[in-house]
Amino acid sequence: MPVPAPRPAVPAVAPLFRPFSVGHLHLPNRTVMAPMTRNFCPGGVPGPEIAEYYARRARGGVGLIVTEGTVVGHPAAAPTTDVPRFHGEDALAGWARVVEEVHAAGGRIIPQLWHAGLERKGDAVPHPQVPAVGPATLSEADIADVVAAFGRAAADARRLGFDGLELHGGHGYLIDQFLRPESNPRTDGYGGDLGGRTRFAAEVVAACRAAAGYDFPIFLRVSQWTVSDFGARLATTPDELYLLLAPLIEAGVDVIDCSTRRFWLPEFPGSDLGLAGWVKKLTGLPTVAVGSVGLDDSEFLSALVEGRGAANASLDRLVESLERDEFDLVAVGRLLLSDPSWVAKVREGRHSELSPFSADALLSLT
């Protein structure tokens, strides 16, 4: 059955519903479902309920779905037993079903490819006898194995019919660990100066590009913060940020997903631009803004700590930034957990029908 065309956007949010294209990926609007770890894949296999979970957001009008982080085929990649794998016949068959159902619902979807690195902690992990790995523990041969695992995953993403892929290069996971001097003590070609610290990430990007082809969009998620330090800084100046990103862009990145906790906060002194705005200005590449989109930030963090929800907030500031082309795409996270039809409701001006974020949404796949 053909997917019905969406209603035209109300004028107040029209910039959010302009089409966008990169490579062969054509999106009907600027909304992205942010990658959110759910831990609902026993043994790492995405089941039918995962396919329906993503298809429901596609039916709700999301322009592009980025899956939760899904780990590449390396023994130390997964942080828990219930995050999805992107390797093995059983897991890949599950992802094929996800793609099929999202496409049938009229959506577009890319997997986020992930290696947890030193954030793999405790014994509740696959292959518990395998220790966590990081920049200090990997030999050059080990690094080549990890790079190859990303390349295989990229080839599988294309084979399964995904619309592109995203590399998780932020939040203090393995790719990000190589980029940061505080987590990368190496003095060889994979450490030391900024050029050395970007080498691993650039090799991962290049391997994915070679495996998936030159018309297959590659997104890269970056962040200043990490899961263990919200105040961490990957780059302290615009020049440093550009020098860090340039080798990755040369290796084949098409879009940069700029993860922040509040998308509107200025990233560097002397400018109102957030991280996504700065990255677009410095590189010329399309960027994704993310961070408390649509949420009442005044109570959001305390609400999470206390197990409460968070109220909806005005989208005026977001729309104004899109009108100025500060960034190109907007990732929405927790609101899409509570309200799979959030995008359609915003497009049609049904703001009174928007569901606030509820902490209960973290506990199910509704």
The residues that are catalytic are 173
Tokens of 279: 């990255």
Count CA within 13 A, CB hemisphere, residue 251.
Answer: 21
Answer whether 105's CB lies under 8 Å from 62's CB.
Answer: no
DSSP string, 194-228: HHHHTHHHHHHHHHHHHHH-TTS-EEEEEES-BTT
* CA–CA gap between residue 228 and residue 226 (Å, rounded): 5
Q: Which of 237, 248, 319, 327 minimizes the C-alpha distance to 284?
A: 327
How many C-beta neighbours within 10 Å does residue 361 have?
Answer: 18
Give the closest residue to 304 by CA, choosing from 264, 333, 330, 265: 333
Q: What is the rounded CA–CA span in Å between residue 203 and residue 205?
A: 5
Nearest-angstrom CA–CA distance, 116 and 273: 30
Give the separation between CA 66 and CA 155, rounded to whole angstroms: 17
Phi, psi of 187 (to 5 degrees): -120, 5
List all residues 6 or more positions away from 45 whose beta carbon is below 8 Å from its beta carbon.
84, 85, 88, 90, 91, 94
First-to-final CA distance of the chain: 23
